Chains A and B, each alone.
Chain A
């Protein structure tokens, strides 16, 4: 499904990696590992199309992602270092806007249910700037529950989460992989996946 050939990325004048080849099939979790500064985030941003690699190609379902454009982005969910939620909007509003922009028609009841599952009952109607760091991250992660995208790209999704949220996120990832989805993620902790396939990619050295 997702195939990368001869990818080379530079940050500034520094070469991060070159000649990178890998392919990920449906129902797989790809765990990208590497030391700080080895280019994990740059790789993930290149996969999304936020960063233009110096050379190489990224294909989704056999087509270059550059050419697919919006069709590729419809299949994609990216979760970066920034939560991507507005502090002045409530959790409900944030998720509703995110869903509309993704082109999904989502019922309000589904959004309430998603926030309940992520453990934010009673906080749905508060501006998210009033929430704690971990709670903000939970609001952002609720997008995973609502999303229909087959490809999840998650950059350090576990940081700032408490034990309960980490368990929940692992469950969500496992469910997604079990439904033939693809997850590409970076994390410094081991991901406990009970079923499905886990592949590892090591950057640098």
Chain B
């Protein structure tokens, strides 16, 4: 089981490293969106501090969703996805490995770049720390839920836009508590604990159910 998980994970990481631009575009998309907001709403310190958490989370939502379109599409086009469905392994395990690789390539960089973005918005050190923690717990949930949508819209014309229509509403709980945690850190650090606990609970629930739902969706789409 673990050997197969590693095999698919390493495969996807190798493939991504041979096509580095795909990874970097997501990251730069995130940075650009976040950097555009101050130009639109004004650069006043107080406004930015209020807007910061929400902007970062909405940008993270959009960035993770942009990358989702490619999660299964490449494997679908060259037939390797079909072969994965036919291997003697539980499909949900393979899907989980693919989602993990996807998160390592698109979610984790966002977590690591967060301090830089936090400084753009004059967030305090505490707020930046909470933001990194919240992103660390929240972005995997985005990848997991998004995988269901990516599997459902596999190979459709205009799949990317449809994907956002289906998936963005489902991201709301993560958005509410992810951004809420950062805002709460400005008042009292102890207040942030329930937020992070909820995000953790979402992560556990998503880890349990999302791979099953995505593999069911893949089987429907591949017919």
Residues of A whose CB lies within 8 Å of any CB of B are 45, 48-52, 70-71, 73-74, 76, 78, 80-89, 93, 97-98, 100-103, 127
Do B78 and A70 have beta carbons less than 8 Å apart?
A: no
Do B78 and A82 have beta carbons less than 8 Å apart?
A: yes
Do B83 and A101 have beta carbons less than 8 Å apart?
A: yes
Q: Which residues on the B side are within 8 Å of A84 (C-beta)?
A: 78-80, 82-83
Nearest residue, chain A, Cβ from B75: A86
Nearest residue, chain B, Cβ from A127: B18
Do B88 and A87 have beta carbons less than 8 Å apart?
A: no
Q: Which residues on the B side are within 8 Å of A127 (C-beta)?
A: 18
The residue from B19, B89, B222 contacting A101, defined by CB atoms under 8 A apart? B89
Do A103 and B87 have beta carbons less than 8 Å apart?
A: yes
The residue from A73, A78, A82, A85 contacting B88, defined by CB atoms under 8 A apart? A73
What are 30 A-to-B residue pairs whose CB atoms are below 8 Å?
A48-B86, A50-B222, A70-B89, A71-B88, A73-B86, A78-B82, A78-B86, A80-B82, A81-B79, A83-B79, A84-B78, A84-B79, A84-B80, A85-B79, A85-B80, A86-B11, A86-B15, A86-B78, A87-B78, A88-B18, A89-B11, A89-B14, A89-B15, A93-B11, A97-B8, A98-B83, A100-B4, A101-B84, A103-B88, A103-B89
Docked pose: A89 CA to B8 CA in angstroms: 13
A51 and B7 in contact, given A70-B90, A84-B80 (Cβ under 8 angstroms): no
15 additional A-B residue pairs with CB within 8 Å, beyond A78-B82, A85-B78: A50-B85, A50-B222, A50-B223, A51-B223, A70-B88, A70-B90, A74-B88, A80-B79, A84-B83, A86-B15, A86-B80, A88-B15, A98-B83, A101-B4, A101-B7
The residue from B7, B79, B223 contacting A97, defined by CB atoms under 8 A apart? B7
B3 at interface by CB-CB < 8 Å:
yes
User: How distant is A89 from chain B, measured CB to nearest CB, in Å?
Assistant: 7
User: How distant is A161 from chain B, measured CB to nearest CB, in Å?
Assistant: 17
Q: Which residues on the B side are within 8 Å of A76 (C-beta)?
A: 86
Central interface residue in B14, B78, B88, B223, by most chain A CB within 10 Å? B88
Do B87 and A102 have beta carbons less than 8 Å apart?
A: yes
Q: Which residues on the A side are within 8 Å of B3 (C-beta)?
A: 100
Docked pose: A45 CA to B222 CA in angstroms: 10
B residues 13-42 near A (Cβ < 8 Å) are 14-15, 18-19
Docked pose: A93 CA to B78 CA in angstroms: 16
User: How distant is A14 from chain B, measured CB to nearest CB, in Å?
Assistant: 15
Interface size bracket, B side = 20 to 34
A49 and B86 in contact, given A100-B3, A100-B7 (Cβ under 8 angstroms): yes
Q: Which residues on the A side are within 8 Å of B8 (C-beta)?
A: 97, 101
Docked pose: A88 CA to B88 CA in angstroms: 24
Q: Which residues on the A side are within 8 Å of B7 (C-beta)?
A: 97, 100-101
Closest 10 CB pairs of A and B: A82-B79, A74-B88, A84-B79, A101-B87, A84-B83, A100-B7, A88-B18, A73-B88, A70-B88, A103-B88
Q: Which residues on the A side are within 8 Å of B82 (C-beta)?
A: 50, 78, 80, 82, 84
Q: Which residues on the B side are within 8 Å of A100 (C-beta)?
A: 3-4, 7
User: How distant is B107 from chain A, measured CB to nearest CB, in Å?
Assistant: 22
Q: Which residues on the B side are within 8 Å of A50 (C-beta)?
A: 82, 85-86, 222-223
Q: Which residues on the B side are within 8 Å of A71 (C-beta)?
A: 88
Docked pose: A41 CA to B97 CA in angstroms: 30
Docked pose: A120 CA to B194 CA in angstroms: 59
Mask: chain B, 32-70; 1 = CB below 8 Å from A; 0 = not? 000000000000000000000000000000000000000
Nearest residue, chain A, Cβ from B84: A101
Docked pose: A87 CA to B14 CA in angstroms: 12
A52 and B88 in contact, given A80-B79, A87-B78 (Cβ under 8 angstroms): no
Q: Which residues on the A side are within 8 Å of B89 (C-beta)?
A: 70, 101, 103
Nearest residue, chain A, Cβ from B222: A50
